[in-house]
Structure 1
């Protein structure tokens, strides 16, 4: 399984490099159909009262004080962020992509992260993971493979307040496998 994942990540990296060479910056190429699907997921109830201040970001432009790059919205490959324009801060990030069919009919969920510690435990991740499950079902996807790593270097400088530990994180994903299988990957 790990070799398959490494192989796929290598192919994914080559694809991104190819896209960068072909289009310049990946973040400028946005698939409007995929963007409409993600925007159609709307906001979870806890964020509705801030709706006018929150935007879906599918590229790296306009994000201040952020080190994370690589936002995109392509058919089956998305990394988006909910961004609070008023407070100039990230609230939530999600990254997923459809796997190469040769390697199985699945979606890899690489990142599902609530940046704002005050929003953790408020259902934001649950809301978007449930939307991903619905999307996967409509697309005929057989399973969702999740990279669940509470200690990922991506989070090293972030507050751990209200964050799930590894065991709770794995439980979070596995209890949602009633509609579609969810597998944990390394």
Structure 2
């Protein structure tokens, strides 16, 4: 089922570009915000979307018919914030280099940095993430070159900056 795409948000995400790494050159890689645009999508990727500050997209390799990267984030809900007393933030639900051959090439870091830049521009206070290397979303992905739980936690901690902190749910210092 197709959802209406917020063109402003889509333009922002498209403006992030594609990481400049040799393995991504000369192949037809496109951002996909609508699950109906790609074949044989597993259950988790059936709700791709691009709404204002609520985005779930993938980079799709149309030459080899596979998802190579996926990201899911949304803006915190004002009603919940008023109950919890938290500041406005983004919740990063997924940051995944799906193609194991492309892991450890800087793709996840590239997009996390883009989200941090966008969060700063959007006056967010932080990005919240619950790192879980063994989440069921990864069941269909190869474990080759994937981060173990402690490595994943360290990845996010190292990417946290004074300008845009990353808060780890369940791993607060």
TM-score with structure 2 length normalisation?
0.88
Name stretches of at least 5 consecutive residues in structure 1 with no aligned partner. Answer: 1-24
Whether the aligned pair in 1 keeps the contact of 2:35 and 2:41 (CA below 8 Å) is: no
Matched, 1:100 2:77: yes
1:44-83 correspondence to structure 2 within 5 Å? 44-46=19-21, 48-50=24-26, 53-67=28-42, 68-83=45-60
- Mapped to 2, the partners of 1:95 and 1:147 lie a distance apart of 12
- Mapped to 1, the partners of 2:159 and 2:141 lie a distance apart of 26
SS of residue matched to 1:133: helix
2:156 to 156, 167, 173: 173
- The aligned counterpart of 2:6 is 31
- The aligned counterpart of 2:106 is 123
The alpha-carbon deviation at position 48 of structure 1 amounts to 4.8
- Mapped to 2, the partners of 1:41 and 1:70 lie a distance apart of 21
Name stretches of at least 5 consecutive residues in structure 2 with no aligned partner. Answer: 82-86
- Mapped to 2, the partners of 1:155 and 1:176 lie a distance apart of 22
Whether the aligned pair in 2 keeps the contact of 1:34 and 1:76 (CA below 8 Å) is: yes
Q: How many residues align?
A: 160
Whether the aligned pair in 2 keeps the contact of 1:111 and 1:147 (CA below 8 Å) is: no
TM-score with structure 1 length normalisation?
0.82
Matched, 1:185 2:162: no
- Mapped to 2, the partners of 1:96 and 1:43 lie a distance apart of 18
Superposed CA RMSD in Å reads 1.3
- The aligned counterpart of 1:152 is 135
Whether the aligned pair in 2 keeps the contact of 1:82 and 1:90 (CA below 8 Å) is: yes
The structure with more helix, counted as a fraction of residues? 1
Structure 1's consecutive aligned runs of 4 or more residues displaced over 3 angstroms after TM superposition are none
